[in-house]
């Protein structure tokens, strides 16, 4: 690797040929390109050029792969289809377009290199699910803060096992979230290289532009997005302050108590993920013992998985739209769940999202969360935040947050609660458990 154009020895021909990729690495990305590590974590400031660097790293590694059967396979995973197609696809065509014999398949967002290696782009909330069961030699997860936290461990890592493939996980800091957790977990792991690229250590932006950005951005926003700080809070987080207060006492080991029933709160997805919180009423508190998210699975599959957990399953608290009938079958998901569960689901009344958020804020203070089994859900709650327009941002964090909002607004239907913020004892709608809240019934 040099500071000049990037070269690769193209394999798969009768004689290897040197191919010039029209890319000159910025100095702050040379350590990334030179790293021999299998796993690379990159947090970089806005406009640092991380996507360009990673795409070129992928092109070079794909060209140099000598395996013929099965052909090498690489993937880029981004948070949205539009961003992936409009931006990353353009980068891929530009930098790989001068390679003799290269082929581009626009409909598949796929590049086929002359040695048979392929690079395919996946963009969108659940696009990565299409990668399940496939082998890959290298994968880039871009803007990891906007991707589902489980994508690396449950999808990408298994995909790379067959040929000991590599991964680059990159993004811009969004505070204390799953991106930060991945970094912290692997800071001292010899198999990982951790790169932090703040604006103070690059020449990617003109000094006057950087100066103006300090005036245009809040201090927290600038610390996260330009200085790569993971300590700055997520701006506009609905629940972050409460969860931080609860961390020392209410987020801990919360064991399942088999003598008590388990209740669930749901957010139902069709093209999106379905999120489920599992909880028990214990004394004067609510114990969350598990959080689980499902993508690409129907209600029968999801319910079968939940039934296999061995819980004494009681009420399922569902969102109001469960009663909508599907065009294809004419059946509602309400009927499907009723047939699966053998009882009617509890349906949360239609409500304003703002009212539901306030209910959750009150509700959280009487809750305990298992720190391991609820880790993904807690990350979603911490990162659920309002946009600059004041509305909730819909991204990966929405599913777990919407599920707990469903529960907070519907829990009075299985208790005699007057409101989630009053009292501290529960009277159950069914079963042998009988407790009261705040003296009301």
The pLDDT score that the predictor gives to residue 15 is 59
The pLDDT score that the predictor gives to residue 129 is 87
The pLDDT score that the predictor gives to residue 3 is 47
The pLDDT score that the predictor gives to residue 219 is 86
The pLDDT score that the predictor gives to residue 437 is 29
Of 2-11, 100-109, 193-202, the one with minimum mean pLDDT is: 2-11
Judged against a pLDDT cut of 80, whether residue 81 lies above it is answered with: yes
The pLDDT score that the predictor gives to residue 218 is 86
Residue owning tokens 């396979």: 73
44: nearest Cα among 148, 145, 203, 172: 172
Are the C-beta atoms of residues 288 and 370 closer than 8 Å to each other?
yes
For residues 369-382, average pLDDT: 92
pTM: 0.69
Judged against a pLDDT cut of 60, whether residue 290 lies above it is answered with: yes
| Confidence band, pLDDT 50/70/90 cuts, at residue 2 | very low
| Confidence band, pLDDT 50/70/90 cuts, at residue 23 | very high
For residues 145-170, average pLDDT: 94
| Confidence band, pLDDT 50/70/90 cuts, at residue 148 | confident
Are the C-beta atoms of residues 178 and 150 closer than 8 Å to each other?
no
In percent, how much of the chain has pLDDT > 70?
A: 88
Q: HSE-up of 7 (CA within 13 Å, CB side)?
A: 8
Judged against a pLDDT cut of 70, whether residue 416 lies above it is answered with: no
In percent, how much of the chain has pLDDT > 90?
A: 69
The pLDDT score that the predictor gives to residue 175 is 81
Are the C-beta atoms of residues 168 and 16 closer than 8 Å to each other?
no
Hey, what domains does the chain have and what are their CATH numbers?
A: 6-225 (3.40.50.300), 240-413 (3.30.420.280)
Mean pLDDT of the chain: 88
Are the C-beta atoms of residues 186 and 5 closer than 8 Å to each other?
no
Cα(275)–Cα(277) distance, rounded to whole angstroms?
7
Judged against a pLDDT cut of 50, whether residue 62 lies above it is answered with: yes
């Amino acid at each position: 690797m040099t500071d000049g154009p990037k070269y690769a020895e193209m394999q798969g021909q009768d004689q290897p040929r040197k191919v010039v990729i029209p890319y000159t690495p910025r100095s702050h990305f040379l350590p990334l390109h030179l790293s021999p590590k299998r796993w690379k974590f990159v947090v970089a400031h806005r406009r640092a050029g991380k996507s360009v660097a990673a795409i070129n790293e992928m092109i070079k590694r794909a060209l140099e792969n000598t395996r013929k059967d099965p052909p090498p396979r690489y993937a880029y995973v981004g948070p949205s289809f539009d961003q992936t197609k409009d931006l990353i696809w353009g980068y891929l065509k530009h930098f790989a377009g001068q390679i003799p014999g290269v082929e581009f398949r626009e409909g598949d967002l796929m590049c086929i290199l002359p040695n048979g290696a392929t690079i395919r782009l996946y963009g969108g909330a659940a696009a990565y699910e299409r990668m399940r069961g496939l082998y890959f030699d290298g994968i880039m997860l871009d803007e990891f803060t906007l991707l589902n936290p489980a994508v690396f461990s449950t999808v990408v890592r298994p995909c790379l096992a067959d040929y000991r493939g590599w991964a680059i996980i990159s993004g811009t800091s969004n505070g204390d979230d799953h991106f930060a957790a991945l970094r912290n977990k692997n800071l001292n792991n010899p198999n990982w290289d951790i790169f932090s690229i703040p604006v103070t250590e690059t020449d990617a932006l003109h000094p006057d532009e950087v100066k103006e950005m300090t005036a245009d951005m809040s201090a927290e926003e600038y610390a996260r997005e330009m200085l790569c700080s993971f300590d700055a809070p997520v701006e506009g987080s609905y629940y972050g302050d409460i969860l931080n207060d609860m961390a020392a006492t209410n987020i801990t080991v919360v064991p399942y108590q088999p003598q008590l029933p388990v209740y669930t709160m749901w957010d139902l997805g069709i093209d999106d993920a379905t999120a489920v919180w599992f909880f028990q009423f214990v004394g004067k508190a609510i114990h969350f013992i598990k959080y689980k998210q499902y993508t690409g699975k129907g209600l029968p599959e999801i319910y079968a998985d939940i039934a296999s957990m061995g819980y004494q399953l009681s009420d399922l608290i569902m969102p109001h739209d469960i009663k909508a009938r599907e065009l294809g079958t004419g059946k509602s998901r309400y009927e499907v769940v009723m047939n699966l569960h053998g009882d009617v689901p509890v349906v949360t009344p239609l409500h304003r999202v703002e009212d539901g958020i306030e209910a959750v804020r009150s509700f959280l203070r009487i809750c305990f969360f298992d720190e391991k089994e609820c880790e993904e859900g807690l990350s979603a709650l911490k990162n659920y935040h309002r946009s600059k327009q004041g509305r909730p941002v819909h991204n990966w964090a929405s599913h777990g947050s919407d599920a707990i909002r469903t529960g907070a607004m519907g829990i009075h239907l299985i208790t005699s609660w007057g409101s989630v913020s009053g009292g501290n004892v529960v009277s159950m709608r069914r079963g042998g458990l009988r407790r009261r809240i705040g003296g009301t019934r």
